[in-house]
Amino acid sequence: MDAAEAVRSGGSCLIVNDFAHRGHVIGWNGRGAGAAIAFEAAAGPHALLVSYANGERAEGRQAGADIVTRHCDLVVNGKPAGRYPMRGTWTWNDFWTYPVIVDLVQGRNTIAFGNEDGPTAEFERFRIAPLNP
């Protein structure tokens, strides 16, 4: 699922990024703003691949030593599913993939991405696949 297909809330928005798959990312996430995906799936464990960019740098530090890790809180079907580090990708145009194992129910599932404590990454796309097909 690409950025344009996700539901955005709380001020997060679709941003043009020519380096992203299909040309968009979901930005301005965190502090109440976030994104969510909804899809049909079989019950059981699934691999969720989150493609993201995080080009944030700390102020007053030397290049290479100033990378900032942002965090992403996942909520799967209304239940907290963990907090995950979105490590610095060096630029907002370089996308890394973070894998997470999530347990899904039969039928419609929703996964929300955000961070109430601060900003989180810009999301490019989300891929999901059953671990025991």
Q: Which sign, positive or negative, has the C-alpha torsion 115, 43, 101, 13?
A: negative
Nearest to 59 by CA among 72, 47, 68, 71: 68
Cβ burial of 110 (10 Å; 0-12, 13-18, 19+) is middle
Residue 64 has pLDDT above 70, yes or no: no
φ and ψ at 117, to 5 degrees?
-85, -15
- 60 pLDDT tier (thresholds 50, 70, 90): low
| Residue 70 pLDDT class (50, 70, 90 cuts) | very high
The residue-averaged pLDDT of 30-37 equals 94
With beta carbons less than 8 A apart as the criterion, state whether 24 and 93 touch: no
- pLDDT, residue 49, reads 97
Question: Rounded to whole angstroms, how far apart are CA atoms 111 and 49?
Answer: 12
Q: pLDDT digit string (tens) for 90-126?
A: 899 999 999 999 999 999 999 999 999 999 999 999 9
46 and 102 Cβ atoms separated by less than 8 Å: yes
- Is pLDDT of 61 > 90? no
Look at residue 67 in the predicted model and tell me its pLDDT.
83
Burial class from Cβ neighbours inside 10 Å (0-12, 13-18, 19+) for residue 31 reads middle
Q: Is 4 helix (H, G, I), strand (E, B) or coil?
A: helix
